[in-house]
Structure 1
Amino acid sequence: MDTKRFLFVSADAALITDLAWQVHGEGHDVKYYIEAESDREIGDGFVPKTDDWEAELDWADVIVFDDIWVGSDIGTGELARELREAGHAVVGGTPNTDRLEEDRGYAMEVLEEHGVNTIDHREFESFEAGIQFVRENPAPYVIKPLGEVQNVKRLLYVGDEDDGSDVIDVLEAYERAWGHRMKGFQLQRKVDGVEIAVCGFFDGDSFVDRVNFNFEHKKLFPGNIGPSTGEMGTSMFWAGRNELFERTLGKLEGWLADEGYVGSIDLNCIVNETGIYPLEFTPRFGYPTIALQEESIESSTAEFFHDLAHGDDPEPDVHRGFQVGARVVLPPFPFDDEGTYDENSRNAAVVFGSESREGVHLEDTKRVDGQWRVAGESGMPLVVTGKGETMAEAREQCYGRVDEIAIPNRYYRDDIGERWIDGEGDRLQAWGYLGPAGDVY
């Protein structure tokens, strides 16, 4: 592919730095815009920047939005739709696909309207009403905040008690601590099984044949304990349009075509021997999922996203096997504490034990006089990835690369991918959701 021009837009926090760096490294022209003032140094020294993304629209061959948020409001879907109507090639959503993430009740309605089974759920605007519902219908529930506050990932709570008493206790605590911001929440019946996300790339008309299946690791500590972080790491593989895909995202293909959606869309599910139960959508790139997907796309990443944005039937070559990615973080992640960050993490040096940068992906990082340094204010400098024919081989490569990186006070989960090895893979294959032999690309 000839040299193309890519405009990356972070209309809130900086999230897409690594993809911009990857495309730039493949020899294409890149400009990157970051709205959040606290994040504007992220990517310095790695990718060219712009202070006015709208002034670059006619320059760009492809425009890429990284999230649904414009500041504290959803809105990139509206921007992307307007730009497409004006003739631009855009990777981004629509107002309705943005709503899939922001409004969990709407997301369940869309699934149900297209024949996808959903878990029993109910939305509440009142803590009192939610607490009364649990008392009248005792069971384990998952509490999922609605609206802007859902980005505070540690507020998601998975109940354990059969009588729902722990959910009641948590709702009462949330009312005291978060009642001024938490305007609503969803209670979803807890279902046991294997948690797996089905991720497809949509080109405005149909899904790309390569489907990504990934396993999120949201808790801070190994063993899946501690506060929810959004994501500490991911394991994954690529396969075709198997049973799991066809019974979930595959049913939405026509709806997404009517919307004109372009980009990555992910549906996280609980799967067991009795069925597939969707949990939530990510109608955008996932983080750090996109870094691991980049690592496993073995053809040109730039060409893939160029073809995706233009509806040119992209056919990426993907790694045949498994992939593992671990997020390397610093204090006070996942919390906000400026004093702790200033003392332990701000401008910290990233030191490499070898010349290789294979499998190392940027999050909140900058380069100053050739030295990699921590940037921003979140304490998430890097994602480190590995690949292999087996999940064990992918883990070994990933953590071998982590061992070659020194950052004072770093921490990370060292169990990414173990769940597959410990039996989740066997269970999914036994239930028949991954095809006749559980094949992966």
Structure 2
Amino acid sequence: MRVLVIGSGGREHALLLGLAADPSVTDLFAAPGNAGTEGIATNRSVDVASADAVVALAKELAADLVVIGPEVPLVLGVADALRAAGIAVFGPNKAAAQIEGSKAFAKDVMAAAGVRTAHAEVVDSPADLDAALDRFGPTWVVKDDGLAAGKGVVVTTDRAKARDHAVECLESGHPVLLESFLDGPEVSLFCLVDGQTVVPLIPAQDHKRVGNGDTGPNTGGMGAYTPLPWLPDETVTQIVDEIVKPVAAELVSRGTPFNGLLYAGLAIGADGPAVVEFNARFGDPETQAVLALLRSPLGQALHATATGTLAELPPLQWDDGAAVVVVLAAENYPGTPRIGDVVVGADGEGVRHAGTARDADGKTVSAGGRVLAVVGTGADLAAAREQAYARLAEIKLPGSHFRNDIGLAALEGRISV
């Protein structure tokens, strides 16, 4: 099977590594890829937002399967164009991808499906903003209604900060979603979805804030771990049965069945799980941790989803133990990052490249905010953390920063439901 993976981040590097381990995968291509993916796949340049360009490349490569990593091409309908060309694709069509592309659409779907989520109001005019803010608090949750690469959300007890973010979104031409605050620890649950067939992966927890102790602004994710020792197995079953399956069924009823990876971001509160948001693709950096423990052939699972045969897929098998991923970010991230610096040790064990490139001398240099991530695995969370941070210590990048508490709260028993 010849597989083309669309994207250039750590998620795509992890997907390519998983696909390379599948004996049914004979050829791997990444478009555009990064400095790390070129070691396991053939990198090709492409405009990921151009359906015509992606289809042309898939045809040129005679791809048997295209896996779309990022959200932007999905929301723009690249998967639709591939399917129209008769090419198997892992990723939802444009209509179903609105579950991520429009938070207001997602709220409407959840309401119709009877799924627990935060109360929300859409504000599309500055004139209505202050009255709407008065109906929320003392903790405000303000979301850009469009795509924001994981950084369009502000959660604050400071009304002025909430208002400033809302105004910024409105001035950029995007409606704003105000939500009631959902208490409780957060969980990321990835599910393979083919119409109404749902196959969950193991749950993970992301660390969104830039600083230790969940301080500072939101980022695209500074690290993750899996599995979650504090989350009962029956809660995962409850999430699938009461949230993911009803949403999948609602999308089918609307004539826009979901096909690909449905990512449920949830808060586990006193009343049970409630949806914070849905994404229409693998999450980053949780993917790096989750796929590190997957024993089943990844290519076969993604191909079954893409071709409508997910119900026939054997149960997924997982390695025992735990996985931890820690992100190394460039100086000033999540602001405008410093780029172009040589990364020493970038090709070490467990490294997943994200914002990297090659300079004229062939050296790996930083090319984005989240430069790379390091994965550690072990018999338990403590061992996985130890390996991840030991590997990270071998990497040098001027001005870089990372969190040193990924998975620590769970290890110390400070998370419970």
Q: In 1, are the aligned partners of 2:11 and 2:282 still within 8 Å (CA)?
A: no
Residue 74 (1) aligns with residue 64 (2): no
Residue 93 (1) aligns with residue 84 (2): no
TM-score, normalised on structure 2?
A: 0.84
Q: Which residue of 2 aligns with 1:196?
A: 187
- The letter for the 2-side match of 1:321 is G
Residue 111 (1) aligns with residue 110 (2): yes
Q: Which residue of 2 aligns with 1:332?
A: 332
- The letter for the 2-side match of 1:80 is A
Q: Which moved more, 1:359-368 or 1:182-191?
A: 359-368
Judged with a 3 Å threshold, the aligned counterparts in structure 2 of structure 1 residues 408 and 13 are, in CA distance, closer, same or farther, namely closer
Q: In 2, are the aligned partners of 1:145 and 1:185 still within 8 Å (CA)?
A: yes
Deviation at 1:367, TM superposition (A): 5.5
Q: Distance in 1 between matches of 2:392 and 2:259?
A: 33
Q: Which residue of 1 aligns with 2:43?
A: 49
Q: In 2, are the aligned partners of 1:195 and 1:215 still within 8 Å (CA)?
A: yes
SS of residue in 2 equivalent to 1:108: helix
What aligned pairs does 1:165-314 form with structure 2 within 5 A after superposition? 166-167=158-159, 169-174=160-165, 179-208=170-199, 210-237=200-227, 242-255=237-250, 259-312=256-309, 313-314=312-313
Q: Which residue of 2 aligns with 1:350?
A: 344
Q: Which moved more, 1:51-60 or 1:225-234?
A: 51-60
Q: Distance in 1 between matches of 2:305 and 2:387?
A: 30
SS of residue in 2 equivalent to 1:277: strand
Deviations 1:179-226 (A, max 9, x none): 431522111111321211222112445122x43212110011110001
Q: Distance in 2 between matches of 1:254 and 1:79?
A: 23
Deviation at 1:386, TM superposition (A): 1.8
Q: In 1, are the aligned partners of 2:55 and 2:81 still within 8 Å (CA)?
A: no
Length, aligned pairs only: 396
Deviations 1:28-79 (A, max 9, x none): 3122223xxxx87774555313345323434011011112314xx931xx33
Deviation at 1:19, TM superposition (A): 2.2
Judged with a 3 Å threshold, the aligned counterparts in structure 2 of structure 1 residues 347 and 80 are, in CA distance, closer, same or farther, namely same
Q: Distance in 2 between matches of 1:413 and 1:359?
A: 17
Q: In 1, are the aligned partners of 2:248 and 2:257 still within 8 Å (CA)?
A: no
Deviations 1:98-150 (A, max 9, x none): 111121121112112112122211110123312112335554221111124x3
Q: Distance in 2 between matches of 1:85 and 1:255?
A: 24
Q: In 2, are the aligned partners of 1:141 and 1:190 still within 8 Å (CA)?
A: yes
Deviations 1:305-352 (A, max 9, x none): 233323443343222232211111111321125xxx2xxx41413326
Q: Which residue of 1 aligns with 2:48?
A: none
Q: In 1, are the aligned partners of 2:10 and 2:288 still within 8 Å (CA)?
A: no
Q: Distance in 1 between matches of 2:150 and 2:185?
A: 24
Judged with a 3 Å threshold, the aligned counterparts in structure 2 of structure 1 residues 392 and 303 are, in CA distance, closer, same or farther, namely same
Deviations 1:81-108 (A, max 9, x none): 3433543211011223211112112111
Deviations 1:157-197 (A, max 9, x none): 2122xxxxx22x12443466554315221111113212112
Within the candidate set 6, 29, 38, 1:31 is matched to 29
Judged with a 3 Å threshold, the aligned counterparts in structure 2 of structure 1 residues 233 and 301 are, in CA distance, closer, same or farther, namely same
**Where in structure 1 are there 5+ consecutive unaligned residues?**
161-165, 429-441
- The letter for the 1-side match of 2:208 is K
Q: Distance in 2 between matches of 1:14 and 1:321?
A: 22
Within the candidate set 3, 11, 14, 1:6 is matched to 3
Q: Which moved more, 1:86-95 or 1:250-259?
A: 250-259
Q: Which moved more, 1:22-31 or 1:126-135?
A: 22-31
- The letter for the 2-side match of 1:269 is L
Within the candidate set 348, 355, 359, 1:364 is matched to 355
Q: In 2, are the aligned partners of 1:44 and 1:367 still within 8 Å (CA)?
A: no
- The letter for the 1-side match of 2:394 is E
Judged with a 3 Å threshold, the aligned counterparts in structure 2 of structure 1 residues 45 and 390 are, in CA distance, closer, same or farther, namely closer
Deviations 1:384-430 (A, max 9, x none): 112234322221222122123233333211111122234365x23xx
Judged with a 3 Å threshold, the aligned counterparts in structure 2 of structure 1 residues 124 and 9 are, in CA distance, closer, same or farther, namely same
Q: Distance in 2 between matches of 1:152 and 1:196?
A: 15
Q: Distance in 1 between matches of 2:272 and 2:150?
A: 30
Identity, in percent, stands at 22
Residue 320 (1) aligns with residue 320 (2): yes
- The letter for the 1-side match of 2:353 is L
Q: Distance in 2 between matches of 1:14 and 1:194?
A: 25
- The letter for the 2-side match of 1:199 is F
Q: In 2, are the aligned partners of 1:68 and 1:93 still within 8 Å (CA)?
A: no
Q: Distance in 2 between matches of 1:424 and 1:9?
A: 38
Judged with a 3 Å threshold, the aligned counterparts in structure 2 of structure 1 residues 43 and 366 are, in CA distance, closer, same or farther, namely farther
Q: Which residue of 1 aligns with 2:154?
A: 157
Q: In 2, are the aligned partners of 1:46 and 1:367 still within 8 Å (CA)?
A: no
TM-score, normalised on structure 1?
A: 0.80
Q: In 2, are the aligned partners of 1:326 and 1:413 still within 8 Å (CA)?
A: yes
Q: Distance in 1 between matches of 2:118 and 2:150?
A: 23
Q: In 2, are the aligned partners of 1:41 and 1:375 still within 8 Å (CA)?
A: no
Q: Distance in 1 between matches of 2:308 and 2:257?
A: 10
Q: Distance in 2 between matches of 1:25 and 1:56?
A: 24
Q: Which moved more, 1:12-21 or 1:306-315?
A: 12-21
Q: Which moved more, 1:130-139 or 1:104-113?
A: 130-139
Q: In 1, are the aligned partners of 2:35 and 2:358 still within 8 Å (CA)?
A: no
Q: Distance in 2 between matches of 1:373 and 1:307?
A: 35
- The letter for the 1-side match of 2:288 is A
